[in-house]
Structure 1
């Protein structure tokens, strides 16, 4: 595991999301294949994904995709000191949700992402979001890069 722990300011430099749309707070740990982040943004009444004052569990897919983007940014910074190629979420697969909503969860979320495939055309990540040892969401996210 890398000794580098990245704070919120640096974390925001790793992904293209700005201000409150950057849903992750902290990177706890990472290596060549995985990243573990934490967040309490699901409790923020100004979370941009809220609708009618609620935050659906389906939005955990965005948390997982952002963890994948953070991991790609960390790998790019490690490899060449730059940032990852711009990408687009292309597909979500095998998504399983254990709850209906997350705005009522008091504890911090733990967001894990594991790169399964990485290449010049894109990435495939598995993600899991949990509170303690209780999982809330699992799935896979595919990201494609625009080379234009």
Structure 2
């Protein structure tokens, strides 16, 4: 991979824009994984908040967006970006009740487990201060070739 990570705009890689683009920094990536970081969980205007709180169930959205960022990075490095639809979450283990009470940055590693013409499977782990706060697996159904969207995966 030959991308300058400090010049990558995550909003250019995924369909989520503005406050719904949850990740702020790409730390590392290769053909099989991506590592991201963010402080978006501390934003009082985070669109996932309800009743002033950001519940930990939203870590699944952080994981799904990490997968989309990985797909966008692969496309930018010479592959093809394909629109994807999250169809299943498996083995999700969330270890904190809320995100807005966490003071440090969040990190996520998403690892591509399986890649076929019609679907992908990823494992994701979310970390706060080097401690795993959530992990799981997700399945994505890919749109047929020809329905590509350069900003999503």
Structure 2-normalised TM-score? 0.89
Whether 1:89 aligns to 2:86 is: yes
1:65-80 map, 5 Å: 65-80=64-79
Which stretches in structure 2 are left out of the alignment for 5+ residues?
148-153
Deviations 1:40-86 (A, max 9, x none): 00000111110101011110011011111000111111124xx6111
1:106-125 map, 5 Å: 106-125=103-122
Whether 1:32 aligns to 2:31 is: yes
- Tell me if the contact between 1:88 and 1:145 (Cα under 8 Å) persists in the aligned partners: yes
Structure 1-normalised TM-score? 0.92
- Tell me if the contact between 2:2 and 2:77 (Cα under 8 Å) persists in the aligned partners: no
The 1-side partners of 2:34 and 2:103 are apart by: 23
Would the alpha carbon gap of residues 18 and 73 (structure 1) be closer, same or farther in structure 2, given more than 3 Å must change? same
Relative contact order, CA 8 A, sep 6+: which one is greater?
2
Whether 1:135 aligns to 2:153 is: no
Q: Which residue of 2 is the match for residue 11 of structure 1?
A: 10
State the Cα RMSD in Å.
1.6
- Tell me if the contact between 1:2 and 1:30 (Cα under 8 Å) persists in the aligned partners: no
The 2-side partners of 1:94 and 1:67 are apart by: 17
The 2-side partners of 1:121 and 1:69 are apart by: 15
Give the CA deviation at 1:11. Answer: 1.1
Would the alpha carbon gap of residues 72 and 6 (structure 1) be closer, same or farther in structure 2, given more than 3 Å must change? farther
- Tell me if the contact between 1:96 and 1:138 (Cα under 8 Å) persists in the aligned partners: yes
Moved over 4 A (4+): none
